[in-house]
Structure 1
Amino acid sequence: MNHETSRDLYDRALSVLPGGVNSSVRATQPYPAFIERGDGGHVIDADGNRYIDYVMGYGPLLLGHDLPESVRAAIQSSMSDGPMYGAPTEIEVELAEFVARHVPSVEMLRFVNSGTEATVSAVRLARGYTGRGKIVVMQGGYHGAQESTLVAGDAENARSSSPGVPQTFAEHTIPVPFNDSEAIEEVFETHGEEIAAVLTEPLLGNTAGVPPVEGYHEQLRELCDESGALLIFDEVMTGFRVGGLQCAQGKLGVTPDLTTFAKIIGGGFPAGAVGGPAEILESFTPAGDVFQSGTFSGHPVAMAAGLETLRYAAENDVYDHVNRLGKQLRTGIADIVSDRAPGYTILGTDSMFKLVFTRAGATDIDEACIPGYRQTPDSDCFDHCPKTGADVESAETDRWDRLFRPAMKEEGVFLTANQLESQFVSDAHTDEDVEQTLEAYKEFFE
């Protein structure tokens, strides 16, 4: 493949954009492909190279790049009426009503502009509602570029994970290993009366989709109930992708106090939301005293895109299609690596998938990790499946980043920028796309 135009664009970008990109995850070796346009389940770069796209905007594009006519018409109608108003519109009410009908924990929503803004607002709301200051987060979890969660270390030695984040923020954040029942018990024994909330993803989407061990989220729910803390599910990634319209919480059968949304809820446009019971949400201004506001919040174009995307998904068997293809990819890749790269692990569920270059995974296809909503101790793969973000981070990330991803790109398969990011199937992907993808995986492992 020829990549000269992307290389030249990257050279220009380095002069005017820090690192040549506007989001650090877009920086790939030796330089990123600059995308010119999307086409169904594919993207075409500035050099005319065509790829099967499993980045899908890092999750928002449930329907792919070619929007159905009903979604496109709703977006165009909203845009033709005017870009935005700084005043309420009916469409934001309709989207809130749709979400409240389908997501078990949600009675009310406050719309914002991104996943980061949603988690920032949820943390502030939890602190304001409980009158407490500490937030428990999962090591390897990701909740956007916000000071309260850019924290590394452990419960006893939390530290900011980025220059520019004062250490005082880390003093109010308690990182614990995901899936570690003993660690979370100890934290609540020591800090229970200080904890405003536990903030967790249903699965660790930014460490390849590590699923929870059976009973772990139920334990979090019980500990929060006993201590008076709130349980916050970050469903920015899983919302309206894992578990369909009821989201991951509905599939898991665990009801959080607050939920953060973004990605699919905006249908490919910038949007996010915090949802939960009216009693808690009405602590936001102007109903309550916890300040939250935003010029572009509830932007009518994003609201129209999100609502029509969800309506289309509900009426057209989208989840059956994307989940079927996701399963084909996971099982097909598992079969390939069992013969050629024993020890590697497949993660993901529903329309999410990821191959992780683990160093000591299952070596037999019958024991290979069978991705799903939970890890069950009585399954053959339990001992091999990663349990924490550290388990994924200790895998062969350089080999994945420097060898595997570029090789797949040359085979016409566009994967996320590194081994840690989940990959996504859209409604626009086809069985032929999956077959071509599996052939590319075979080619690499020959």
Structure 2
Amino acid sequence: MNHDESRALYDRALSVLPGGVNSSVRATRPYPFFVEHGDGAHVVDADGNRYVDYVMGYGPLLYGHDPPDAVQAAVQSHAADGPMYGAPTEVEVDLAEFVARHVPSVEMVRFVNSGTEATVSAVRLARGYTGRDKIVVMQGGYHGAQESTLVEGSPDGAEPSSPGIPSSFAEHTIPVPFNDTDAIEAVFEEHGEDIAAILTEPILGNTGIVLPVDGYLERLRELTEAHNSLLIFDEVITGFRVGGLQCAQGKFGVTPDVTTFGKIVGGGFPVGAIGGRSDIIEQFTPAGEVFQSGTFSGHPVTMAAGYEYLKYAAENDVYEHVNRLGERLRRGISEIAADQAPAYTVVGTDSMFKTVFTREGPGDGSEDVCDAGCRQRESCARFDHCPKTGADVSDAETERWERLFWQEMKARAIFLTANQFESQFVSYAHTDEDVEETLEAYKEAL
């Protein structure tokens, strides 16, 4: 492949953008390819190279790069009427009603402009509602670029994970290992009366896709209820992708008090949302006293795109299609890995997938393994080796993914997320032929 134009663009970008990019995950080695346009399940770069795309904007593009006609018409109509008003519009009510009608935890919604803004607001809301300061988060979980959750360390020694964040912010954040019931119980035994909320992804989606072990989310629900704390599910990634219109909370049968959304709920445009019980969400101003506001919140073009996006999913076979292809990919990659890289672990669910370059496997030829992605089954021969926490993913061969595997897949015209940690996604635009092409590339690159 020729990448001369992308290289030249990157050279220009380095002079005016830090690291040549506007989001750190785009900084691939030796330099990123620059996308010229999308086409269904593909992207075409500035040099005319065409790739099967499984990044899908890091999750929002449920329909790929060509959304349904109704979505495009709604976007064009609202953009033509005027970009924004600083006043309410009917379509934001339409989208809020749709979300409240389908998501188990949601009675009311406040729309914002990003997943980060949603989780920032949810943390503030939890503290204001409970009158408490401490927030429990999962090690390896990701809740956007906000000071309260950019922490690392143990429950007894949390520190900011980035320069520029005062240590005092971390004093009120308690990181615990995902899937570790003993750890979360110990934290509540010591700090239960001071904990405003547990903030967790129901599936760790920025650390290789780690599913909860049986009973873990249920135990979080029990602990928060027992201590009058809130359970907040960050469904920015999983919302309207895992579990269909009921989201991951519907799939797992655990209803949080508050849910944060982003990505798909905005139909491919910048968005975030905080939903939950009305008595909690009404604590936001102007109904309550917890301040929250934003110039672009409820932007009519975004609201229209999100509403038509979700209506189309409700009326068509979108989830059946993407979940079938997702399972086919995971099953096919699992078969390839069993033959060529038996220590590796295929993870994911519904239309999410990833291969974690774990270093150990059962090694006994057992057939009792999850054959379409890790399900955290105790009877599975891989159970002791598959990732249970963010640290387990970090201990994998992360450099091999970034320096070798990603490059090999790119050379075979498959666009994957550039590091070991980010999820990959199937869209409604993908086909069985795309899956076959991808599996052939995996065979050659693994």
What's the TM-score once normalised by structure 1's chain length?
0.98
The amino acid that maps onto 1:352 is: M
Question: Does residue 1:426 correspond to 2:427, yes or no?
Answer: yes
Residue 153 of structure 1 aligns with which residue? 153
Residue 34 of structure 2 aligns with which residue? 34
Confirm or deny: 8 A CA contact 2:334 2:372 kept in the other structure. no
Residue 81 of structure 1 aligns with which residue? 81
Matches within 5 A, 1:235-254: 235-254=235-254
* Post-superposition offset of 1:373: 8.8
The amino acid that maps onto 1:425 is: V
State the distance in 2 between where 1:6 and 1:92 align: 39
Residue 110 of structure 2 aligns with which residue? 110
State the distance in 2 between where 1:328 and 1:434 align: 8
SS of the equivalent of 2:213 reads coil
State the distance in 1 between where 2:135 and 2:2 align: 48
State the distance in 2 between where 1:163 and 1:416 align: 25
Confirm or deny: 8 A CA contact 1:138 1:175 kept in the other structure. yes
Question: Does residue 1:340 correspond to 2:343, yes or no?
Answer: no
Residue 312 of structure 1 aligns with which residue? 312
State the distance in 2 between where 1:239 and 1:408 align: 28
Question: Does residue 1:234 correspond to 2:234, yes or no?
Answer: yes
Structure 2 residue runs of 5 or longer lacking an equivalent are none
Superposition RMSD in Å? 1.1
State the distance in 2 between where 1:414 and 1:264 align: 20
Confirm or deny: 8 A CA contact 2:208 2:393 kept in the other structure. yes
State the distance in 2 between where 1:123 and 1:129 align: 10
Confirm or deny: 8 A CA contact 1:362 1:368 kept in the other structure. no
SS of the equivalent of 1:205 reads coil
Residue 164 of structure 1 aligns with which residue? 164
The amino acid that maps onto 1:279 is: D
* Post-superposition offset of 1:362: 3.9
User: What per-residue deviation string (whole Å, max 9, x for no partner) do you get for residues 294-341 of structure 1?
Assistant: 000000000000010101111111000000000000000000010111
Question: Does residue 1:401 correspond to 2:402, yes or no?
Answer: yes
Question: Does residue 1:265 correspond to 2:265, yes or no?
Answer: yes
The amino acid that maps onto 2:396 is: A
The amino acid that maps onto 2:382 is: C
Confirm or deny: 8 A CA contact 1:270 1:302 kept in the other structure. yes
State the distance in 2 between where 1:80 and 1:239 align: 29
Change (3 A) 1:254 1:197: same
Confirm or deny: 8 A CA contact 2:347 2:374 kept in the other structure. no
* Post-superposition offset of 1:365: 6.8
Residue 439 of structure 2 aligns with which residue? 438
State the distance in 2 between where 1:281 and 1:435 align: 46
User: What per-residue deviation string (whole Å, max 9, x for no partner) do you get for residues 207-251 of structure 1?
Assistant: 011000000000000000000100000000000000000000001
Confirm or deny: 8 A CA contact 1:334 1:365 kept in the other structure. no
Residue 181 of structure 1 aligns with which residue? 181
* Post-superposition offset of 1:383: 1.8
* Post-superposition offset of 1:95: 0.1
State the distance in 2 between where 1:242 and 1:371 align: 15
Confirm or deny: 8 A CA contact 1:362 1:381 kept in the other structure. yes
State the distance in 2 between where 1:429 and 1:134 align: 43
Change (3 A) 1:302 1:351: same
Residue 214 of structure 2 aligns with which residue? 214
* Post-superposition offset of 1:68: 1.1
Change (3 A) 1:59 1:160: same
State the distance in 2 between where 1:29 and 1:219 align: 42
Confirm or deny: 8 A CA contact 1:111 1:297 kept in the other structure. yes
State the distance in 2 between where 1:318 and 1:365 align: 35
Confirm or deny: 8 A CA contact 1:59 1:423 kept in the other structure. yes
* Post-superposition offset of 1:367: 4.2
Confirm or deny: 8 A CA contact 1:347 1:369 kept in the other structure. no
Change (3 A) 1:284 1:373: farther
Confirm or deny: 8 A CA contact 1:335 1:365 kept in the other structure. no
Matches within 5 A, 1:137-152: 137-152=137-152
Number of residue equivalences: 445
The amino acid that maps onto 1:427 is: Y
The amino acid that maps onto 1:34 is: F
Confirm or deny: 8 A CA contact 2:328 2:372 kept in the other structure. no
State the distance in 1 between where 2:25 and 2:402 align: 12
Residue 392 of structure 1 aligns with which residue? 393
Confirm or deny: 8 A CA contact 1:252 1:373 kept in the other structure. no
Question: Does residue 1:72 correspond to 2:72, yes or no?
Answer: yes
State the distance in 1 between where 2:104 and 2:146 align: 27
Confirm or deny: 8 A CA contact 2:346 2:373 kept in the other structure. no
Confirm or deny: 8 A CA contact 1:369 1:385 kept in the other structure. no
The amino acid that maps onto 1:432 is: E
The amino acid that maps onto 1:411 is: R
Confirm or deny: 8 A CA contact 1:370 1:381 kept in the other structure. no
* Post-superposition offset of 1:342: 1.0
SS of the equivalent of 1:366 reads coil
Confirm or deny: 8 A CA contact 1:284 1:290 kept in the other structure. yes
User: What per-residue deviation string (whole Å, max 9, x for no partner) do you get for residues 247-294 of structure 1?
Assistant: 000010000000000000001000110000100000000000000000
Structure 1 residue runs of 5 or longer lacking an equivalent are none
* Post-superposition offset of 1:126: 0.2
Confirm or deny: 8 A CA contact 2:366 2:381 kept in the other structure. no
Matches within 5 A, 1:278-427: 278-363=278-363, 364=365, 366-370=367-371, 375-427=376-428
SS of the equivalent of 1:174 reads strand
